């Protein structure tokens, strides 16, 4: 071994190395929670009370807030939107061999809730404009085994609920709204989650209003309320016992531990009380993106989101559709290298291993497969600084 320096000839003959990548000096997250300032005080109040389990004043205040703001007659707070969907599946009465129509472009919880009961998720295609379930293809997917329809309001933009409810009524099917992304959004003046027999919200950390985890079951059919309450209490009539309606409580139905703790409810109440401000901030940022990309859409470099006139959305997601999957993937890579936390979204469930095992498709899913591969979500959160957003916009324009 030698410590001698190589000769100049050796240096000149060496293969030049790749230039080192420029260090990323700016990191822009895809999303992050925005606090209202009330969360810590409410959580401390629970801690000081010594009552951490569910069913206390914060849970009741959250449910009352949701009922007042949405017009839903009965809301049950749950440990997650997934659990709200699972309660809905139990309320629907589906069992082995039954079928439930839904989009493939959704999160796994939509399908899992019904597959857990032995039912078969039946995937149909999406609309090209809103990326929501294509209501014109629902009737062709209905069979004698069909029991329910699960529309998913993508990006807080409503499905065509008039058409879906008319089909459901004609065929006597239950409608479960997966409005996980839809708090503070509406369709023809009706809050999302309040149109079907049940609806569901998510308060996961990635949503507009958060509690880390958490969800809500919106019950619009009064005949479902008592059973839903028993299911949430592990299948017992504990609530009736606490109200003095029975002298002891016992196992009366299937159920599970769907009741959230007071700690989660306390944090959530702080968020709900700031929901109007949080939504307004997100809408302002959403509109800044939308205005900035108008010319890129006109030149066909991308397509912006489409919001039907009868929908009020909540700026949950700002996405663009790029011309091809290759263009989307290249943009993801370039933005990531620039420290910008952009993201793709759902991989269609029919293509997943469990989707192939537990579900089936009805008709072509050409639109779903095409749009999901071209979709790019951009950073958006309520307290996102304008200069960070300007940086994202500038990089997107450089990619065009």
Q: Which residues are catalytic?
A: 207
- For the record, the structure tokens of 230 come out as 């028993």
CB burial class (10 A; 0-12, 13-18, 19+) of residue 400? Answer: middle
Q: Taking the C-alpha atoms of 257, 261, 264 and 267 in order, what is their torsion angle to the nearest 10 degrees? A: 150
Give the whole-angstrom CA distance, residue 209 versus residue 316.
10
Phi, psi of 154 (to 5 degrees): -70, 135
Contact 128, 321 (CB under 8 A): no
Cα-Cα-Cα-Cα dihedral sign, residues 213, 201, 182, 134: positive
How many CB atoms neighbour CB 310 within 10 A? 13
CB burial class (10 A; 0-12, 13-18, 19+) of residue 26? Answer: exposed
133 by DSSP, 3-state: which? strand
Phi-psi region of 189 (alpha: psi -120 to 50; beta: other; left: phi over 0): left
Give the whole-angstrom CA distance, residue 83 versus residue 109.
9
- For the record, the structure tokens of 209 come out as 């209003």
67 by DSSP, 3-state: which? helix
In sequence order, the 6+-apart residues with CB closer than 8 A to the CB of 43 are 263, 266, 267
- Chain center to CA of 279: 15
Give the whole-angstrom CA distance, residue 306 versus residue 280.
19
| Sequence-ordered strand ranges (E) for 99-181 | 99-103, 120-124, 146-149, 174-178
In sequence order, the 6+-apart residues with CB closer than 8 A to the CB of 167 are 135, 138, 139, 142, 149, 173
Give the whole-angstrom CA distance, residue 58 versus residue 39.
11
């Amino acid at each position: 071994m030698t410590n001698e320096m190589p000769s100049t000839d050796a240096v000149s003959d060496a293969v030049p190395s790749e230039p080192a990548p420029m260090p990323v000096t700016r990191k822009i997250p895809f999303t992050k929670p925005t606090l209202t300032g009330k969360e810590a005080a409410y959580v401390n109040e629970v801690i000081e009370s010594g009552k951490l389990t569910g069913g206390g004043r914060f849970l009741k205040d959250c449910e009352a807030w949701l009922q007042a703001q949405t017009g839903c007659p009965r809301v049950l707070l749950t440990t997650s939107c997934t659990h709200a969907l699972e309660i809905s599946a139990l309320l629907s009465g589906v069992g082995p061999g039954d079928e439930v129509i839904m989009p493939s472009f959704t999160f796994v919880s939509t399908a899992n809730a019904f597959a857990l009961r032995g039912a078969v998720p039946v995937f149909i295609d999406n609309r090209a404009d809103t990326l929501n379930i294509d209501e014109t293809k629902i009737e062709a997917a209905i069979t004698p085994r069909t029991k329910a329809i699960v529309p998913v309001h993508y990006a807080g933009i409503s499905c065509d609920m008039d058409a879906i409810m008319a089909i459901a009524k004609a065929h006597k099917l239950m409608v479960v709204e997966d409005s996980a992304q839809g708090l503070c959004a509406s369709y023809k003046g009706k809050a999302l989650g309040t149109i079907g027999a049940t609806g569901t919200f998510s308060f996961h950390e990635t949503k507009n209003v958060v509690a880390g985890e958490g969800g809500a079951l919106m019950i619009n059919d009064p005949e479902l309320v008592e059973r839903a309450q028993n299911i949430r209490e592990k299948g017992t009539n504990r609530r009736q016992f606490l109200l003095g309606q029975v002298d002891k409580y016992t196992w009366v139905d299937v159920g599970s531990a769907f009741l959230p703790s007071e700690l989660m409810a306390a944090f959530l109440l702080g968020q709900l009380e700031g929901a109007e401000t949080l939504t307004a901030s997100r809408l302002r940022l959403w509109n800044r993106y939308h205005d900035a990309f108008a010319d890129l859409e006109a030149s066909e470099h991308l397509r912006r989101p489409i919001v039907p006139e009868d929908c009020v959305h909540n700026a949950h997601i700002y996405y663009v559709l790029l011309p091809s999957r290759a263009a989307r993937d290249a943009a993801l890579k370039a933005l990531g290298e620039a420290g910008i936390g952009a993201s793709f979204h759902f991989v269609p469930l029919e293509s997943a291993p469990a989707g192939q095992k537990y579900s089936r498709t009805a008709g072509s899913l050409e639109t779903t497969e095409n749009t999901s591969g071209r979709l790019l979500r951009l950073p958006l959160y309520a307290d996102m600084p304008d200069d960070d957003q300007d940086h994202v916009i500038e990089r997107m324009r450089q990619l065009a």
